[in-house]
Amino acid sequence: MRFVVIRIFSPFGNLVSAWLMRYGVKEWLLIIIAFGVMAMSAAGIFGGYVPDTWRVALAFVFSLTGGLLPAAVLAGVPAMVKSPAQISTANGVVVQGINCGSLAGPPVMAAAVGFFGGWQGVNWLMIICCGVGAVFAVGLKMMER
């Protein structure tokens, strides 16, 4: 039940992302901000040195900023394809990639918990994954030029 309550903030992140892009914020910048805030939130959530009340607040922040990603990524697709005819195919590839991450993520996190003997191992996994996502966003910025 707690997970459902926390994940409820993700759609608000989608709306905030769309609103910010409407007023000129670039997709790559939203992606970098989202991954940066998510990495800092994950460090607090899984690090083991933050009180539980702060962990819950950080989980809400993590969910809200994670909601920035889908709208920003899908909005950036038209700039990456060669012709408008390829937009739907590229969007399909993006959605399939997201689904692969949703499928592989829980077992990888479980493996990290088992390997490190606790949730502290997930801390580094999340930070690394967010770092890789931010690097891809920088690549998106370079391709946009």
Give tens-digit pLDDT for 24-61. 999 999 999 999 999 999 988 888 788 888 988 998 89
Of all residues in the chain, the percent with pLDDT exceeding 90 is 41
Average pLDDT, rounded, for the chain: 86
Q: 4 falls in which pLDDT band (50, 70, 90)?
A: very low
**Containing structural domain, residue 129:** 2-144
pLDDT at 5 over 50: no
- Predicted local distance difference test score (pLDDT) of residue 8: 66
Residue 63 CB-density burial (10 A; 0-12 exposed, 13-18 middle, 19+ buried): buried
Q: Full-prediction pTM beyond 0.95?
A: no
Q: What is the mean pLDDT of residues 72-98?
A: 91
Q: Flag whether pLDDT at 144 surpasses 50.
A: yes
Q: How many other CB atoms sit within 10 Å of the CB of residue 95?
A: 13
How many residues in total does the chain contain? Answer: 145
DSSP secondary structure letter of residue 67: T
Is the per-residue pLDDT at 87 higher than 70? yes
Q: Report the number of distinct structural domains present in the chain.
A: 1
